[in-house]
Amino acid sequence: MIYNILLLYYIAINVVLFVVMGIDKYKRHLWRIPESALFSLSFLGGSIGGFFGMFCFKHKIRKYYFYIIYFLFLIIHIYLLYRMFF
């Protein structure tokens, strides 16, 4: 039961960050999504969706700190999941 809930959560949060990256890329001359919001979604577990969004939409690919932060949060979540289930 807990496995299914966590799986759905991670799928949802990754889809949300992927969509948010796309929205932020194509909002021209409008209010943009703050980088802190993108990092917060990554912190909540959406790093994989963030990486896919970066490469799919070619968004924030020149900002090296996005790679570092997304990768760091991905490693942290993998570690936490490993500790929780093994």
Instruction: Indicate whether this model's pTM tops 0.85.
Output: yes
Tell me, what amino acid is at 27? K
Let me know: does 17 contact 50? Beta carbons within 8 Å. yes
pLDDT 10s digits, 37-51: 999 999 999 999 999
pLDDT above 90 for 30:
no
pLDDT category, 31, cuts 50, 70, 90?
confident
pLDDT 10s digits, 11-23: 999 999 999 999 9
pLDDT above 80 for 63:
yes
Let me know: does 66 contact 54? Beta carbons within 8 Å. yes
